[in-house]
A and B are shown apart, each in its own frame.
Chain A
């Protein structure tokens, strides 16, 4: 069964305290793995797409990596404005279906 599991569910960090969010996935043929950021009351905001194991992408304080079973979103020296829910999603080869995780709620304390 295709599925996505994110951990932890919630994470509180001090400003400047680096950490990583995990996304484990099972999919019958990976077309792409997506990371999104979602602020309360808004739609998800696209961050990265990863296609194959070993791929890495960076944007400001965020870096996403991908293996055959999981992806990590590394946050370096976070700031309070990085507080949001981070969602991971995979798109399956079969049927172009998308599967989202339930997200990690990140709070960065000044």
Chain B
């Protein structure tokens, strides 16, 4: 098992730009979810993918979008960056279908700073 790998680890972007964050799921995991975590807060659910289809979405605007690839790796895209988008972005993967109650394995996150 190699765990969940996220890239890059740190990123600085300018307001209005677009960013793509990447996640490589743990081997054998076909469900992936993305979260935004502000300093001192709990993670906020952005969305979840299962077998390449969006399977659940939190209260985030459409400029937050994602993809899951056939190898179950995933991307989070954010358009028109705002200063409030500065946060730690976490990816988590889980074996089996969503709702089976399997625990999620989290990556260490990408720290995004918008200036």
Residues of A within 8 A of B (CB): 4, 6, 31-32, 34, 36, 41-49, 51, 87, 89, 91, 93, 95-103
Instruction: Give the interface size bracket for B toward A.
Output: 20 to 34
Query: What are 6 inter-chain pairs, A to B, with CB distance below 8 A?
Result: A34-B103, A43-B109, A87-B43, A96-B99, A98-B35, A100-B35
Q: Are A49's CB and B101's CB within 8 A?
A: yes
Q: Is the interface of B mostly helix, strand, loop or mixed?
A: loop
Please give, as numbers and ranges, the residues of chain B lying within 8 Å of A49 by CB-CB distance.
Answer: 101-103
Which residues of B are in contact with A by a Cβ distance under 8 Å? 4, 33, 35, 40-45, 48, 55-58, 90, 92, 98-99, 101-109
Are B106 and A43 in contact (CB-based, < 8 A)? Answer: yes
Contact at A96–B42, with CB atoms within 8 Å?
A: no
Distance in angstroms from A48 CB to nearest chain B CB is 8
Interfacial chain A residues near B42, Cβ < 8 Å: 4, 6, 87, 89, 100-103
A residues near B102, Cβ cutoff 8 Å: 49
Give the CA-CA distance A89 to B104 in the complex, in Å: 11
Cβ contact of B103, chosen from A46, A96, A100, cutoff 8 A: A46
**Given the known A-B contacts A51-B101, A95-B57, are A43 and B45 also in contact in the complex, defined by CB atoms under 8 Å?**
no
Partner of B90 from the list A44, A91, A95, A102 (CB cut-off 8 Å) is A44
Least CB separation from B58: chain A residue: A97
B44 lies within 8 A of A43 (CB): no
Minimum-distance CB pairs A-B, first 9: A43-B106, A96-B56, A46-B103, A100-B42, A98-B45, A32-B101, A49-B101, A102-B42, A100-B43
Cβ of A89: which chain B residues have Cβ within 8 Å of it? Answer: 42-43
Further pairs besides A36-B106, A96-B56: 14, Cβ < 8 Å: A6-B42, A42-B109, A43-B92, A43-B106, A43-B109, A44-B106, A46-B106, A47-B103, A49-B102, A89-B42, A95-B57, A98-B35, A100-B45, A103-B42
